[in-house]
Structure 1
Amino acid sequence: MTHIRPVAPTDAYFVAHLVDELLTELLNGELEPADRVSIAEAVLSQTSRCFGYVALEGESPVGVILMTEGVAIYAGGAFGQITELYVRPECRSGGVAAALVREATKFGKERGWKRLDVGAPDQPRWARTLAFYLSAGFVEVGPRLRLDL
């Protein structure tokens, strides 16, 4: 049975490994080396800016959702942004991602967020991911771009 609980700074090791799996999958295994455990420790220690939940099967982590808070006029004030959402392949289609999104939605409402945003990966390759978000009630608002600083 899957158990969902809030993420804690002490979860950095396995959160880093889950995010590594996510990035490896998204980037076709061409993942640039990085000390993601140290990065996860730094990110998760920012408890006023980083929020999330982990999904556990027994004691084994099988999924994670991480969010950050933003504020914008177009969003009507405070809003959440999903920065990472990952469920191990063997646990997909079992409701784990949906449970993580439900917890994130509940958390956002409690914080007074007006919306929860997420960037979907490239289409059409990740059509199943887009379909998941649409089935969870998200609506498409256009592509997201970035500028590396």
Structure 2
Amino acid sequence: MIREAAAADVPAILAMIRELAEYERALESARATEAQLTEALFGPQPAAFALMAEEDGEPVGFALWFRNFSTWTGTHGVYLEDLYVRPEARGGGHGKALLAALAEICVARGYERFEWSVLDWNEPSIGFYRSIGAQPMDGWTVFRLTGKELHALADTTRVNGASPSRI
């Protein structure tokens, strides 16, 4: 069964985020807290949304997503931040059901894109995504700023007179 996440699901979502981070060999990077997830998912201005996969009433997977926007199509899309199904529930169709539910959201809302990233070494996931018709975006490289580099770039904005309250 696939359903929208509720605030009571936050501890399970956080546990699965940590399981996913461990699988991706980056557990130390999974620093989100229950309070942060609760605010992001269920606060006054939600920044993200989640779907839950259940088996026999127990959470076995989740998909956490947010809206993006394409200037080329002039429409929103869905960016899937995390898709995770617990190992003991894999092969039961939960991952495909979560993706299908997100595809349904896209179609129903007129969103033209459904995108996500996958680690290059994650061959099982890459094979699964290809099996449902997803295409890799060859020629694109993800860039990210964090830590001191993010702060250094932000400092250049202040030097030039702009401030976050005016942007």
TM over 0.5: yes
Runs of 4+ in 1 over 4 A off after TM superposition: none
Q: Which residue of 1 aligns with 2:128?
A: 132
8 Å Cα contact 2:18-2:30 kept in structure 1: no
- The alpha carbon displacement at 1:4 in A equals 1.1
Residue 48 of structure 1, CA deviation: 4.7
* Root-mean-square deviation (Å): 1.9
CA distance in 2, matches of 1:25, 1:81: 21
* Structure 1 counterpart of 2:35, from 14, 31, 38: 38
> 1: CA distance between counterparts of 2:82 and 2:109?
19
Aligned to 1:94: 92
- Larger relative contact order (Cα-Cα within 8 Å, sequence gap ≥ 6): 1
Q: Higher Cα Rg: structure 1 or 2? A: 2
Q: Which runs of 5+ in 2 are unaligned?
A: 151-167
- Alpha-carbon shift at residue 84 of structure 1 (Å): 0.7
Residue-pair matches, total: 144
* Matched residue, 2:161: none
- Please name the residue that 2:115 is paired with: 117
Unaligned regions of 5+ residues in structure 1, if any? none
- Alpha-carbon contact 1:52-1:104 (below 8 Å) kept: no
- The residue matched to 1:109 in structure 2 has which SS? helix
Alignment partners' CA distance in 1, 2:133 and 2:36: 31
1:27/1:75 CA distance change after superposition, 3 Å: farther
Moved more, 47-56 or 111-120: 47-56
Q: TM-score, normalised by structure 2?
A: 0.77
Which one of the candidate residues 52, 55, 58 is aligned to 1:54?
Answer: 52
Q: 1: distance between equivalents of 2:89 and 2:132?
A: 18
Cα distance in 2 between the residues matched to 1:51 and 1:58: 23
TM-score by length of 1: 0.86
Residue aligning to 1:5: 3
Aligned-partner Cα distance in 2 for 1:51–1:11: 12
